[in-house]
């Protein structure tokens, strides 16, 4: 991915924390990121405002842009800086028809017991096809069945130490 921008897909925008952190990293690293989030069920404004991620992370200067992210209309392209472009689509991942156009996927759906349809072979097959060779999919879910399904879809999957509050997470790489 050196020398060109990063095309990033997020499955489940939620409260926008991953988008905000990706934007912060794009600014820090001076790497151009094109961020596309799939969110068919946006969280209520009162919820994301009450969480106030920019304040909690100590990056209040990004608060106006974060509010633009969270208030974006489906399909609207928002350029937040010279390093970060954002758009959200109100479509489920099951409707994704993309071929080798992403470098990175944040699969941030609710747990398989809550949203089993987002952890299926069909979904991981679509995400595999959407990634370029060498592309990476990451998820906080580290269940064995999820790992096996990702491997069946063609990914090389490994467990990694998780972030605070999570013992493990999964990283899946498209190697074929």
Q: What is the pLDDT of residue 171?
A: 97
Q: What is the pLDDT of residue 113?
A: 93
Cβ–Cβ < 8 Å for 105, 9: yes
Total domain count, the chain: 2
Shared domain for 86 and 102, answered yes or no, is no
Q: What is the pLDDT of residue 71?
A: 96
**pTM for this model (two decimals):** 0.94
Q: Give the whole-angstrom CA distance, residue 13 versus residue 36.
A: 9
Shared domain for 157 and 105, answered yes or no, is yes
Place of tokens 């200067």: 61
Local mean pLDDT, 10-residue blocks, the chain (176 residues) = 81 96 96 97 96 96 97 96 96 91 94 94 97 96 95 97 88 92
* CATH at 112: 3.40.50.150
Shared domain for 116 and 70, answered yes or no, is no
Shared domain for 1 and 87, answered yes or no, is yes
Shared domain for 57 and 76, answered yes or no, is yes
Shared domain for 54 and 73, answered yes or no, is yes
Q: What is the pLDDT of residue 163?
A: 82
Cβ–Cβ < 8 Å for 133, 35: no
**Phi-psi label, residue 15: left if phi above 0, alpha if psi -120 to 50, beta otherwise:** alpha
> In which domain, by residue range, is 170 found?
98-176
Shared domain for 118 and 34, answered yes or no, is no
């Amino acid at each position: 991915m050196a020398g060109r921008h990063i095309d990033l897909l997020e499955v489940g925008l939620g409260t926008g924390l991953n988008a905000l952190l990706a934007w912060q990293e794009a600014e820090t690293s001076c790497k151009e990121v094109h961020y596309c989030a799939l969110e068919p069920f946006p969280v209520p404004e009162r919820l994301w405002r009450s969480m106030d991620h920019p304040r909690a992370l100590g990056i209040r200067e990004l608060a106006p842009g974060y509010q633009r992210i969270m208030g974006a209309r489906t399909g609207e392209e928002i350029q937040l800086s010279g390093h970060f472009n954002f758009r959200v689509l109100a479509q489920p991942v099951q409707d994704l028809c993309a071929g080798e156009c992403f470098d990175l996927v944040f699969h941030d759906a609710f747990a398989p017991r809550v949203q089993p349809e987002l952890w299926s072979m069909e979904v991981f097959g679509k995400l595999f096809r959407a990634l370029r060779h060498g592309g990476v999919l990451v998820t906080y879910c580290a269940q064995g069945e999820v790992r096996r399904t990702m491997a069946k879809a063609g990914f090389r999957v490994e467990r990694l130490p998780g972030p605070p509050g999570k013992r493990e997470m999964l990283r899946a790489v498209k190697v074929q």
